[in-house]
Structure 1
């Protein structure tokens, strides 16, 4: 580490120590202060727009009942009070579900040579912290969409998309209420059912598929909610755009194409392509139906300056859980169950 880099790094360490009410910030593990914890969440959110839109919830217990934030159902009623008393109604999900915050390690290191390239910049500390926050954001998106289980010993070589770090949102729905997912049986295991999307198929357009999902998989009181969003994987996104483009000779399709590229809507709902969502997945839900729970007091960090390896090592961990607040406001199609035109008159 060059002399100027050392000065910048030491100033950054002093800032970290002050923010967390510490004498020093190297060599020993420390818990983030509440203020520093919120700043860290904000920095991670800035690295991924999707994380800013969903819920980031702090909970005290490692294991407990999910909060049900954003969940609602009809409450309007009338009672003949001459005959009986008025009764309140719970607006949350009636079927209880537990969350379990699992320890997740975000351990990394930064080479001296990389840090040397930042030393001439005024915002050295911000750049340094951003490198950590950026990968945490990416990993959380991967776990949320790809996570299948929480293994005692993870293997990134086999599970390259962090499938074994924690149970993600789609896994939670598949295990708890598989009838919300096309392509899974009542036991939560994949079926051989396939769904063709394209001209001349069961679902002539992506709009038709999304409409069917909304009507048949969502609870009735959520089907016309004004905050629903269609989330699609990359192949679905591209195929839908190409299908509209191929039929632009028709006035109706020209209008559809203009609508798609202008507002990105499907079946009248906003359509997005979240990072790391499987390429042929389709999901209908709302942003506030997806949450990441963070257990209070478990955000821990250790910074070690390791000259033996010419690097600074960062050990960061937190207990986290990925939660779907209301299964009745979640509809999906299993990745791999959708078939698209193969260009030769068939489906693949």
Structure 2
């Protein structure tokens, strides 16, 4: 690898730094600077646009590091009738039953891009877009990984010990384990696991998803917005069964591939999501999952680091994960396939 940027690469990178400084209204992008809230929202939107999943959920800026959840959904009906001759009409308090607060943690997303890649991009007129897209895409993927694997927010993270970013923040699944354990099934007839297949806890994936849905509050169960997020191993096993049964028939094989075998399970639209645990099923609505960031907390810096033969893009902000309505979330994990 080259120890220095090429002349063209250095020129394009220098111009990009000037453009970044102008965009963010600062003198130098090479010094750490605070991003204005309105521009932080634009940056966040650009990151969100790099992921189909992030576009389906809520990724929003808030003003405080601690506060009340933004999307407090209703937990029951509001329609009725009052005999006003004897009784005052009374607005029903149907806000979510659970704890309605959030707390954000300092989060760093620092991306190093090798000189070789910068040099390769330098010949393209959209150099700045390629650079920004690379940084934003990685932040987007990391956000999803933390959401599904995060168990705690360590003072100092350790990527070697926690390769799935488990120590960056507490994600949605861990929030459910901590706050609604009665809506999280971890084991069935066999200790430590839920078995799927002939003779197991569930005969098939439809039955498993159906039972997961039953752990959602009955007042929220039939609103029409619930989905099932299903681990890839469980989907693959179900797909293999369909291929074994119908795959030799060309028209049936084409139908299976077109539908991706995740149209519906347990009567719910079903989805495969990046970094979702392979042995897990979650039933909720997409808009019940949120990532909050403090809009005044975003810090940014771009640095040319010849000691590592790369350029570095430093981003930090206060960020956290939220299940808006805990009673609208249910999960079965540790699912193990029974050998046929």
* Deviation of the 1:248 alpha carbon: 3.6
Q: How does 1:318-333 map to 2 (within 5 A)?
A: 318-333=317-332
Q: How does 1:309-324 map to 2 (within 5 A)?
A: 309-324=308-323
Q: How does 1:169-188 map to 2 (within 5 A)?
A: 169-183=172-186
Asked if 1:12 corresponds to 2:10, the answer is: no
CA contact (8 A) 1:232 1:272 kept: yes
- 1:58 matched residue in structure 2: 61
What SS does the corresponding residue of 1:107 show, helix, strand or coil? strand
Q: How does 1:9-158 map to 2 (within 5 A)?
A: 9-26=13-30, 28-71=31-74, 73-158=76-161
CA contact (8 A) 2:72 2:100 kept: no
CA contact (8 A) 1:108 1:315 kept: yes
- Structure 2 distance, partners of 1:323, 1:147, is 12
- Structure 1 distance, partners of 2:300, 2:66, is 22
The 1:22–1:313 alpha-carbon spacing in structure 2 relative to 1, beyond 3 Å, is: same
Higher alpha-carbon deviation: 291-300 or 204-213: 204-213
- 1:346 matched residue in structure 2: none
User: Could you list the per-position Cα deviations for residues 195-223 of structure 1 after superposition, in whole angstroms to 9, with x for gaps in the alignment?
Assistant: 322234442221111112212x1111111
User: Could you list the per-position Cα deviations for residues 222-245 of structure 1 after superposition, in whole angstroms to 9, with x for gaps in the alignment?
Assistant: 111211111011111111222333
Which structure 1 residue ranges, 5 or more long, are not aligned?
A: 186-190, 344-348
Asked if 1:341 corresponds to 2:331, the answer is: no
- 2:274 matched residue in structure 1: 275
The 1:42–1:296 alpha-carbon spacing in structure 2 relative to 1, beyond 3 Å, is: closer
Q: How does 1:156-171 map to 2 (within 5 A)?
A: 156-171=159-174
Which structure 2 residue ranges, 5 or more long, are not aligned?
A: none
What SS does the corresponding residue of 1:104 show, helix, strand or coil? strand
* Deviation of the 1:95 alpha carbon: 2.3
- Structure 1 distance, partners of 2:101, 2:10, is 47
Higher alpha-carbon deviation: 110-119 or 164-173: 110-119
- Structure 1 distance, partners of 2:45, 2:164, is 24
* Deviation of the 1:61 alpha carbon: 1.0
CA contact (8 A) 2:232 2:272 kept: yes
Give the alignment's TM-score, normalised by structure 1. Answer: 0.88
Higher alpha-carbon deviation: 42-51 or 142-151: 42-51
| Count of residues paired in the alignment | 330
- Structure 1 distance, partners of 2:94, 2:71, is 9
- 2:207 matched residue in structure 1: 208
What SS does the corresponding residue of 2:121 show, helix, strand or coil? coil
* Deviation of the 1:162 alpha carbon: 0.4
Give the alignment's TM-score, normalised by structure 2. Answer: 0.90
CA contact (8 A) 2:230 2:281 kept: yes
User: Could you list the per-position Cα deviations for residues 82-129 of structure 1 after superposition, in whole angstroms to 9, with x for gaps in the alignment?
Assistant: 221111123431322321110111112222222111111010001111
- 2:228 matched residue in structure 1: 230
User: Could you list the per-position Cα deviations for residues 151-198 of structure 1 after superposition, in whole angstroms to 9, with x for gaps in the alignment?
Assistant: 11111101000001100001111101111111179xxxxx92533222
User: Could you list the per-position Cα deviations for residues 47-95 of structure 1 after superposition, in whole angstroms to 9, with x for gaps in the alignment?
Assistant: 2110111001211111122223555532112212122111112343132
What SS does the corresponding residue of 2:320 show, helix, strand or coil? strand
CA RMSD of aligned residues (A): 2.4
